Amino acid sequence: MNNKIPNVTIDGPPIDDIEVKRQLVKEITNALEKAYKLPREVYTILIKENLSENVGVGGELVIDRRKK
């Protein structure tokens, strides 16, 4: 086994409910622990929240696509 520790970055829209974030981090950590067989304390999970006004798809901001 190499010395690299898996890290997970989630890029997505904001999650307003802190309990939902806690559950998400817990479930991802459980999956990592099961797959890699390393103690849960070694994993880092970063949630990057992006407002729809800061994300473009197909040449348009997501916030503008929702208006159609």
For residues 13 and 32, what is the distance between their CA atoms, to the nearest angstrom? 23
Burial 42-59 (b: 16+ CB within 10 A, else e): ebebeeeeeeeeeeeeee
The structural domains of the chain, ordered by start, are 7-65 (3.30.429.10)
Taking 60 as the threshold, does the pLDDT of residue 38 lie above it? yes
Indicate the SS3 state at residue 30. Answer: helix
Taking 60 as the threshold, does the pLDDT of residue 22 lie above it? yes
pTM, full prediction: 0.81
Phi, psi of 51 (to 5 degrees): -70, 150
pLDDT at site 8 = 97
Q: How confident is the model at residue 2 (pLDDT cuts 50, 70, 90)?
A: low
